[in-house]
Amino acid sequence: MSKMQDEIRQQPAALERTLRGELRQAERLRARFEKRRPRMIVLAARGTSDNACEFGRYLLEIATGIPVSLAAPSIHTLYETALDYRDLLVVAISQSGESTDTNVVLERARAGGAFTLGIANEASSSMTRLAEAVFLVRAGREQSVAATKTYTGQLMALYLLAWALGARFRREDLARLPGAAEAALTLEPRIVERAQRYRFMERAVVIGRGLNYSNAFEFGLKMMETCYVVVERSSSADLMHGPIAMVESSFPVFLFGPPGVTWPSTRLMLEKLRELKVDTLLITDRSNAEAASDKGRTICLPLSVSRKSHSPSDLYTPIPYIIPAQMFAASLAAEKGLDPDRPRTLSKVTLTM
């Protein structure tokens, strides 16, 4: 068994530790933000952490109504531009806390008047020293180069940040996420079997929309770095604006299909792809009865992740939905005879400016 597979299985416990360990920090931040609410949020990261930022953008805007922007670190590191960060919240996300350009954004933002927050898995890191407040991802040391448990831990930290900023969802709903992750792990035997079909896959498309748009990027990244598959990552809306032209019969397309506001467009995309005789594989859960009924081309989580409340029905799907995708990438790498823990030309900590 690879370290990647082992770390995928550690996620329920890591999520539980992160949620329990960071609730007090979330409460402190909530008290602060009730007195002084930021007018805008800027998120900064690279790689897998940048995919977590994409999730954070959707989550924070949907749940708090505060505009969110994704930082371009080169504005500081290459163009040496000073920005006015007054009344902003700037959040840097990094597995190691040592991402050079991300930390530069944090440092410049703090000097420019922002309140700064770091989200990292390493308590003793440059990021935790630079930021005024920190959410620790309590995933334990991640040994595989391919990040898995730190990604879902970052998503959990972003839920806590949204709650601290006044999001209306309940902490009890967040407490269900480790169990949803545990349920997703039960799909492993079926996913291992499904991966065999794609042993010779060299290119693919991954589609996600809304809160699962980030998962499309993360799933694609995992297949690129561990399986050496060339992946186009897109929303269903963007795919129709040009990239669909490259899709042909038997072309592999992977989709995230939660119920709720994104499902109608995903369903239409599925219908279009199946007209083209594309090889589709959909990740969903049993609350999406329309999608779950097509068992031959669906990976269906065995419990209903979505909840009927004032919140969007797909609000809690991103963490459990990415776990089958991680398992698929790890299984496909094994099927191809590759080592997902040591992708060629990559190292665990990447330093860029």
Of 22-26, 233-237, 332-336, 346-350, the least confident? 346-350
pLDDT digits (tens, 9 = 90+) for 136-145: 999 999 999 9
- Quick one: pLDDT at residue 308? 54
Which CATH number fits the domain 3-175, given the four candidates 2.70.70.10, 3.40.50.10490, 3.40.50.970, 3.40.50.300? Answer: 3.40.50.10490
Q: Cβ distance 47 to 148 under 8 Å?
A: no
Q: What is the DSSP string of 168-188?
A: ---HHHHHTHHHHHHHHHTTH
- Quick one: pLDDT at residue 341? 87
Report the chain's mean pLDDT, rounded to a whole number. Answer: 92
pLDDT digits (tens, 9 = 90+) for 185-204: 999 999 999 999 999 999 99
Distance CA 190, CA 27 (A): 40
Classify burial at 307, counting beta carbons within 10 Å of its beta carbon; exposed 0-12, middle 13-18, buried 19 or more.
middle
Structure tokens at 174: 């967040």
pTM: 0.94
DSSP for residue 113: T
| CATH 3.40.50.10490 residue spans of the chain | 3-175, 179-335
Residue 142: which of 101, 95, 195 has the closest Cα?
95
- Report the DSSP beta bridge partners of residue 135: 119
Of 9-23, 41-55, 149-163, 310-324, the least confident? 310-324
Outline where DSSP puts E strands in 24-150: 40-44, 68-70, 88-94, 115-120, 133-136
- Quick one: pLDDT at residue 346? 56
Of 159-163, 238-242, 293-297, the least confident? 238-242
- Quick one: pLDDT at residue 293? 73
- 179-335, superfamily in CATH? Glucose-6-phosphate isomerase like protein; domain 1 (3.40.50.10490)
Distance CA 307, CA 319 (A): 14
- Quick one: pLDDT at residue 47? 94
Q: What confidence category does residue 306 fall into, taking pLDDT thresholds of 50, 70 and 90?
A: low
Q: Distance from first CA to last CA of the chain, Å, rounded? A: 35
Interstrand relation of 68-70 and 252-256 (parallel, antiparallel or unpaired): unpaired
Q: What is the DSSP string of 27-54?
A: HHHHHHHHHS--SEEEEE--HHHHHHHH
Distance CA 218, CA 26 (A): 26
Q: Which residue has the tokens 């309590």?
A: 138
Residue 137: which of 260, 11, 39 has the closest Cα?
11
* 237-262 average pLDDT score: 82
